Amino acid sequence: MLNFEFKNPTKILFGKGQIANLSKEIPADAKILMVYGGGSIKSNGVYEQVTQALKGFEIIEFGGVPANPEYAILLEALAIIKKENINYILAVGGGSVIDGVKFLASAALYEGEEPWHILAHGIRTEVALPFGTVLTLPATGSEMNSGSVISRAETKEKLAMGGPGLFPAFSILDPEVIKSIPQRQIANGITDAYTHVLEQYMTYPIGACLQDRFAESIMQTLIEVAPKVMANPADYTAAADFMWCCTMALNGLIQKGVPTDWAVHAIGHELTALYGIDHARTLAIIAPSHYRYHLAQKKEKLAQYAERVWNIQEGSVEEKATQAIAKTEEFFHSLDIKTKLSEYTETYEGTAESIEERFNTRGWKALGEHKSITPADVAKIVSMSY
């Protein structure tokens, strides 16, 4: 195992009825900005539960954060934070709302001129305004990690930020929120979490047995519960496993002591920035081609994954690895997730070249666990995904 440090300060309140405990987690004198998305919380009862739990607190609301949280909209919320001297932020939503709140928490204390520089110049957030979350959509793990991804329509960019100041103080995970999530978003959540595990696992063996088995157990659990949650999001037992898998897939634990890849996400973010394709779907488009392109580098882990997760015991290492990629693609298809770019946009020609150019311009010349993936390789992976 590689050396590591691990600290995750986020307190988790998991289970039915936990939203009622919200008031115990927020300082009594807090002036809160409550941030939410396009309105799902108003029709599924979450808004009532939150406002009921926060009776007596001073709250200003900011709704309308869209999926793929938009910089221009977040600047409106930032202006309110400054004008109203907000000292606590509460995110009520999925990854987009939580990521938007992380940006706000950082930008509120940022002293530079243009908050976009936090993203464009990769400025780490050491301290931020305190914030907590009520998660309504399991997927990203943002509720228990210190990363955030922000989109900017004006420049068609989607960039990440992070730092130790961006862990939520607490996150409330009530699996009952899942019953109102549309199928498309449940499928996205499963696919995103599954790919998070792949990004931290599908590299090369270093003998970190416990880390490997954490990762494999999350994937096995997602495979097991996926059809149940898809068929009935009100199945509390399955929903609880689904929710905890998503959190555990990206709260830092499984990446410790092992090499990680993250090329699928780096490339996928460009497909969202260029075409607005849902985040998880961009991963399903890129991952199979990425693993096929890097079969030689990743075949040992792919074969281990084939044996342990898909129970493929016959054949050579290469054969098992190849079958495992096909199984992964089939799993995405079973969730009604398409895995070719041409199934999402007719104007896919030229995508490979434009992503290659963007990565060259940004100096992203060495992706993956070996820092060996060049923009030219990225272009080949993208064109294999057409």
Name which of Zn ion, ligand NZQ, none residue 94 binds, using a CB cut-off of 5 to 8 Å depending on partner kind: ligand NZQ
CA 200, CA 259: separation in Å to the nearest integer?
7
Asked if residue 96 lies in contact with residue 66, where contact means CB atoms within 8 angstroms, the answer is: yes
Which C-beta is closer to ligand NZQ: that of 37 or that of 304? Answer: 37
Closest CA to 250 of 148, 372, 370, 132: 148
CA 266, CA 355: separation in Å to the nearest integer?
10
Which C-beta is closer to ligand NZQ: that of 174 or that of 322? Answer: 174
CB of 55 to Zn ion, least distance (A): 35
Which C-beta is closer to ligand NZQ: that of 194 or that of 348? Answer: 194
Name which of ligand NZQ, Zn ion, none residue 49 binds, using a CB cut-off of 5 to 8 Å depending on partner kind: none
DSSP per-residue string spanning 262-291: -HHHHHHHHHHHHH---HHHHHHHHHHHHH
32 SS3 class: strand
Residues lying near Zn ion in the complex (CB under 5 A) are found at: 192
- Contact with ligand NZQ (CB under 6 A): which of 115, 132, 147, 168? 147
Q: Of 179-187, 307-315, 363-371, 375-383, which part binds ligand NZQ (CB under 6 A)?
A: 179-187
Which C-beta is closer to ligand NZQ: that of 26 or that of 67? Answer: 67
Q: Of 181-189, 210-218, 221-229, 312-320, which part binds ligand NZQ (CB under 6 A)?
A: 181-189
Give the count of beta carbons closer than 10 Å to the beta carbon of residue 207.
8
- Chain-centre distance for alpha carbon 251: 10
Q: Does 128 contact ligand NZQ by CB under 6 A?
A: no
Which C-beta is closer to ligand NZQ: that of 99 or that of 157? Answer: 99
CB of 176 to ligand NZQ, least distance (A): 9
- Contact with ligand NZQ (CB under 6 A): which of 35, 91, 95, 267? 95
Q: Does 191 contact ligand NZQ by CB under 6 A?
A: no
Q: Does 94 contact ligand NZQ by CB under 6 A?
A: yes
Residues 195-234 that bind ligand NZQ (CB under 6 A): none
Q: At what angle do helices 351-362 and 375-384 cross, to 10 degrees?
A: 160
CA 148, CA 340: separation in Å to the nearest integer?
26
CA 58, CA 91: separation in Å to the nearest integer?
15
Q: Where are the beta strands (DSSP E) in 68-173?
A: 88-93, 131-135, 147-152, 157-162, 170-173
CA atoms within 13 A on the CB side of 101: 38
Q: Does 68 contact ligand NZQ by CB under 6 A?
A: yes
Name which of Zn ion, ligand NZQ, none residue 145 binds, using a CB cut-off of 5 to 8 Å depending on partner kind: ligand NZQ
What is the maximum span of the chain, computed from C-alpha positions, in angstroms? 65
- Contact with ligand NZQ (CB under 6 A): which of 104, 149, 230, 337? 149
CB of 315 to ligand NZQ, least distance (A): 32
Name the region of 232 (left: φ>0; alpha: ψ -120 to 50; beta: rest): beta
- Contact with ligand NZQ (CB under 6 A): which of 30, 49, 99, 240? 99
Written as six digits, the tokens of 237 are: 């037992």
CB of 190 to Zn ion, least distance (A): 12
CB of 74 to ligand NZQ, least distance (A): 12
CA 332, CA 285: separation in Å to the nearest integer?
10
- The number of residues that bind ligand NZQ (CB under 6 A) is 33
Q: At what angle do helices 263-275 and 183-201 cross, to 10 degrees?
A: 150
Q: Is the dihedral of CA 311, 316, 317, 322 positive or negative?
A: negative
Phi and psi (nearest 5°) for 209?
-65, -45
Residues 17-46 that bind ligand NZQ (CB under 6 A): 37-41, 44
Chain contacts with ligand NZQ (rule: CB under 6 A): 37-41, 44, 67-68, 93-97, 99, 136-137, 139-142, 145, 147-149, 177, 180-181, 185, 188, 192, 250, 265, 279
